[in-house]
Structure 1
Amino acid sequence: MFAMTTCNFAAANERIINGEDATSMEATPWQVSLQRFGSHFCGGSLISDMFVMSACHCSQNYVTVNMGSIDYRYPAQQIPVDTFVCNPGYGRFTFDYDYAVIKLSGPATINKDVTPIALPPSGKEYPGGTAALISGWGLTVGGGNTLPTTLQYANTELVDADTCTTKMSKEITNRMQCAGLAGNSACNGDSGGPLAVQDNGVWYLIGNTSFGINNCPLNYPAVWSKNSAVIEWINGEMAK
């Protein structure tokens, strides 16, 4: 397994497998690129003008957040990170509680290309088969080594925990949401990025790309940290 950054239970650092090139940011205006010394290493999601949601395994020093452009190299807005706070329950080897709340050093300018996504209600669950949207600048080919510069996105569906546990041969906890098995997948470089579901016309950030199987095979789901399980913690960090 790997974290969708670069480990063995692998973090998703690769690009969306079998995704499409975004032609504008209007479909996923909450998507951001986390960068260190000008290089993309993880994704994230804008949840207010001052905060970004991502994965704890993406934690780095000297990070900037690029947003508002489908090409992460030429952001419409680039804002340094003030604080990067990991959930205290994060397990480095289990990827449980793989959450990070990032406070920006200044507010993002909200417009059609830069718009926060709503957080789900505490405890909200969606059944397997629910339609979802994934996006990121991770690898587009499992086992590859070149990240795309154009944002990728794909329509996928949620996978229930029992099916995911069986497929992954790993316990899926209540802090994890599986998705995939729909001809596409997240991969290395997508870590921290959004798993979004539209519910009654509102887009909700239900998960942050966490881990998957090495080389991102399409017959296995990938796993996101489930935000509805820790809403109180997220709100507490945003209130500080």
Structure 2
Amino acid sequence: STTWSVSLVCGQAPRNSRILEGTSVVTAGLWPWMASLQKNGSHVCGGTLVAVDSVLSNANCFSNQSNGTNVAILHLSARPTLTDYIQPICLDNGRTFSEGSVCWSAGWSSGRGGGESAT
């Protein structure tokens, strides 16, 4: 019998083909790993899809007690269907960035889904 191994590709954003300088509002699919954690249909916290079944978020979203880690990993009960709009980000791929490198940051703001600031 033949065993097939399927490797997951991460960090792919097929709809993010251009740089939007100075833009504070993005369209769907530009950052396909960004997640909105919602309760009763309302945005509570942001998160990042770090695997096909896991979202990384802030522990303060789930508990007022800070134990020093300040991180939460949510295991999804069902895996999302990966599309151009839903893709996991790469973590610890061995890449380093020098001081002064230009980087992007993404998050949720009060005008687009919740009360978090883009950091």
TM-score, with length taken from structure 2? 0.66
Give the distance between the partners of 1:133 and 1:115, measured in 2 at CA: 17
Specify which of 32, 35, 38 is matched with residue 38 of structure 2: 35
Residue type of the alignment partner of 1:111: T
Q: Percent identity?
A: 28
Matched, 1:148 2:111: yes
- Give the length in aligned residue pairs: 97
> Could you say what secondary structure the match of 2:32 adopts?
coil
The equivalent of 2:116 in structure 1 is 189
More strand by share: 1
The equivalent of 2:49 in structure 1 is 46
The equivalent of 1:56 in structure 2 is 59
Give the distance between the partners of 1:98 and 1:128, measured in 2 at CA: 25
Specify which of 45, 69, 74 is matched with residue 97 of structure 1: 69
More helix by share: 1
Give the distance between the partners of 2:42 and 2:96, measured in 1 at CA: 35
Alpha-carbon RMSD across the aligned residues, in angstroms, is 2.9
Query: Superposition pairs for residues 98-137 of structure 1, below 5 Å?
Result: 98-121=70-93, 126-137=97-108
Q: Once the 2 structures are TM-superposed, how far is the Cα of residue 96 of structure 1 from its aligned partner?
A: 4.1
Structure 2 portions without partners, runs of 5+: 1-21
Structure 1 portions without partners, runs of 5+: 1-17, 61-90, 139-146, 152-187, 194-208, 210-240
CA contact (8 A) 1:30 1:116 kept: yes
- Dislocated runs of 4+, deviation >4 Å: none
The equivalent of 2:25 in structure 1 is 21
* Deviation digits for residues 8-40 of structure 1 (CA, Å, limit 9, x no counterpart): xxxxxxxxxx75211231x20000101112111
For residues 108 and 39 of structure 1, do their structure 2 counterparts lie closer, same or farther at Cα, with a shift above 3 Å needed?
A: same
Give the distance between the partners of 2:74 and 2:102, measured in 1 at CA: 27
Give the distance between the partners of 1:36 and 1:96, measured in 2 at CA: 25
